[in-house]
Amino acid sequence: MRRTAAFLGVAGLLAGATGCGSLTSAATEVGGDRMTDPRPVRDGGTLTVALKSDPDKLDPSLAQTLVGRTVFAGMCEKLYDTDRTGKVVPQLAAALPKTSDGGRTVTVTVRHDLTFSDGTHLDAAAVARSLERHRTLPGSARATELGPLVKAEATGAYTVRIRLKEPYVPLTGVLADRAGMVMSPTALKKYGKNFTNHPSCVGPFKYVERVAGDRIVLAKDPRYYDADKVHLDKVVYKTITDGGVRLANLRSGDIQAGDQMGPVEVQSSLTEKQLQLFTSPSLGYQGLGFNTGNVHGTGQKPGKLDTVFAREPRVREAFELALDRKVINKVVFQNMYEPACGPVSPESAIAPGAAGCPGRDLARAKKLLKEAGVTLPVPVELKVSTSPEDSRLGQVIQAMAREAGFDVRLRPMEYATLLEETDAGRFDAYVSGWSGRLDPDGNIASFVGTAGAMNTYGISEPAIDRLIAKGRTTADPAARARVYGQLTDRIRDQHALLYLYRQKNYVVARKDVAGLRVYGDGLVRVKDAGYVR
């Protein structure tokens, strides 16, 4: 009875979606991108940033979540970083890498003035050890990103030589994310896989404590090379999954910044004088994935799965044809995101031409189900996170799919648990997403390559693998864009990972906070943040 009532409520929204007026007003128009607030700040104080979900492991080799990357942005710098324009710039490295031997050898020079939070000096040997760990640690989410790497070795006190199987064009971009994070060799030796509970990197802040499900506390690191430019004493990352509660805490002053704010909360915040909004375009995507062959867990070779969704691409295609991306954006996100049907953002460094998204076609969906010979309604359990936004998305998907002949049962769960379940292959379908990388390979290879480190879907298609390899070795930008256009088509033909929409990055902060930076990668950078003078 309760399920029927919920369905009718969503169906009512869907019926009126195409005819209703905009939910925004002049007072709640978001306007253009705003990535930082340059007002001068004073020294001292604690900044509390509310996260949409609890971060997973604080280990750069194993971590997978955007909220985890936001915490890393405060305490674990990388060999390279991206600036507000999307350009890759040196961070722990002294200069951009140099290539030789036809692109098979890459030389990275490291800065001389770096000290880990535990007091260990950072040198080339520490960089090489971290790269090798990212590449070889069992369960590493970086394994696919560093798959072409044969060996990383120190050839001098501050010179690292990386040997590759073949030229690897995305490497610099890869080293501008978690694969480029360098961990203290002293901490790695002492704690091993338990590094997650004792992380030590180079960054403006150092790890203090974590209370699972509640908060992560960082304190200013006096050993940091730019410590005199860091203003805050502490940063606290607090998990608050409900966007409405994050907004209420912003109003009360209990938190000073809210990450990944949803459209409803963003519009509310724009009418309040004590709050300000940061926005940037996204490099990522959000969508829905089916388990088509994840039998042994991510990173392992896909196998045979005896389910209707794994056996029948026509059933997966029918599910996609039941969905209307434009209505999803309007009903769930108040037209504040963008419909998407591919892995590469228009903001990417190498973006293929825009692909037209398939429209909703119930007649075609029903025809495909009939051809597949399945019994209606087709049952499917859809796992979603416990956030209200994902709950609304799940309900709209449920209502749309029902009209085509699917019985979608929603299974809400805490986000870190959802990741564990899907990595292990214990799912029919789940709402998935990725915060995105500047180089398109970072949005593709780990997710759809056979045995990709984050291929939760069990996709295994030789043509896709060949195109991934081609994209990694093709240097000409126009030629690479064509490769990724072909890859997008091949991925879409699988109907295993359905790209549905592309977020904008929305961060709401109190007006007395300045210096936050929110770029296209979606991270909340706190190095320069503080309270207004």
Bridge partners of residue 98, in order along the sequence: 107
Residue range 499-527: average pLDDT?
95
Please list, in sequence order, all residues whose beta carbon lies within 8 angstroms of the beta carbon of residue 128, skipping any fewer than 6 positions away: 152, 153, 154, 160
Evaluate whether the domain defined by 34-76+203-281+506-533 bears CATH number 3.40.50.970.
no
Instruction: For the chain, give the percent of residues with pLDDT over 70.
Output: 94
**Terminal-residue alpha carbon distance, the chain:** 57
For residue 356, the model assigns a pLDDT of 78
Bridge partners of residue 336, in order along the sequence: none
Q: Token pair 């195109």 is at which residue?
A: 467
Looking at the chain, which residues constitute the CATH 3.10.105.10 domain(s)? 283-502
Please list, in sequence order, all residues whose beta carbon lies within 8 angstroms of the beta carbon of residue 109, skipping any fewer than 6 positions away: 93, 94, 95, 158, 159, 160
For residue 413, the model assigns a pLDDT of 95
pLDDT band at 110 (very low <50, low <70, confident <90, very high): very high
pLDDT band at 29 (very low <50, low <70, confident <90, very high): low
Q: Cα–Cα–Cα angle for 291, 295, 299, nearest 5°?
A: 95
Q: Is the model's pLDDT at 415 over the cut of 50?
A: yes
Q: Is the model's pLDDT at 263 over the cut of 80?
A: yes
Q: Is the model's pLDDT at 95 over the cut of 60?
A: yes
Looking at the chain, which residues constitute the CATH 3.90.76.10 domain(s)? 77-190
For residue 171, the model assigns a pLDDT of 97
- Tens of pLDDT along 30-52? 667 899 999 999 999 999 999 99
- Tens of pLDDT along 154-206? 999 999 999 999 999 999 999 999 999 999 999 999 999 899 999 999 999 99
Q: Is the model's pLDDT at 20 over the cut of 50?
A: no
- Is the separation of the CB atoms in 281 and 520 below 8 Å? yes
**475, amino acid identity:** A
Q: Which segments within 243-385 are labelled E, that is strand?
A: 257-258, 275-281, 285-290, 338-339, 378-385
For residue 85, the model assigns a pLDDT of 86
For residue 357, the model assigns a pLDDT of 86
- Tens of pLDDT along 293-329? 999 999 888 999 999 999 999 999 999 999 999 999 9
For residue 6, the model assigns a pLDDT of 37
Evaluate whether the domain defined by 77-190 bears CATH number 3.90.76.10.
yes
- Is the separation of the CB atoms in 206 and 517 below 8 Å? no
For residue 349, the model assigns a pLDDT of 82
For residue 30, the model assigns a pLDDT of 65
Q: Cα–Cα–Cα angle for 469, 470, 475, nearest 5°?
A: 120
pLDDT band at 416 (very low <50, low <70, confident <90, very high): confident
Residue range 330-350: average pLDDT?
92
- Tens of pLDDT along 206-234? 999 999 999 999 999 999 999 999 999 99
pLDDT band at 10 (very low <50, low <70, confident <90, very high): very low
For the record, the structure tokens of 462 come out as 């030789």
- Tens of pLDDT along 450-490? 989 999 999 999 999 999 999 999 999 999 999 999 999 99
Please state which CATH number belongs to domain 283-502.
3.10.105.10
Looking at the chain, which residues constitute the CATH 3.40.190.10 domain(s)? 34-76+203-281+506-533
CA-based Rg of the chain, rounded to a whole angstrom? 23
- Tens of pLDDT along 232-243? 999 999 999 999
Pairing of strands 378-385, 429-434: parallel
Instruction: For the chain, give the percent of residues with pLDDT over 90.
Output: 87
Pairing of strands 497-502, 285-290: antiparallel
Please list, in sequence order, all residues whose beta carbon lies within 8 angstroms of the beta carbon of residue 207, skipping any fewer than 6 positions away: 58, 75, 117, 198, 199, 200, 216, 218
For residue 355, the model assigns a pLDDT of 65
For residue 304, the model assigns a pLDDT of 93
Decide: residue 217, CB within 10 A, 0-12 exposed, 13-18 middle, 19+ buried: middle
- Tens of pLDDT along 353-390? 766 788 999 999 999 999 999 999 999 999 999 988 89
Compute the mean pLDDT over every residue in the chain, rounded to the nearest whole number: 92
Q: Is the model's pLDDT at 253 over the cut of 90?
A: yes
pTM of the model: 0.88
In angstroms, the CA 85 to CA 280 distance is: 11
Residue range 123-136: average pLDDT?
98
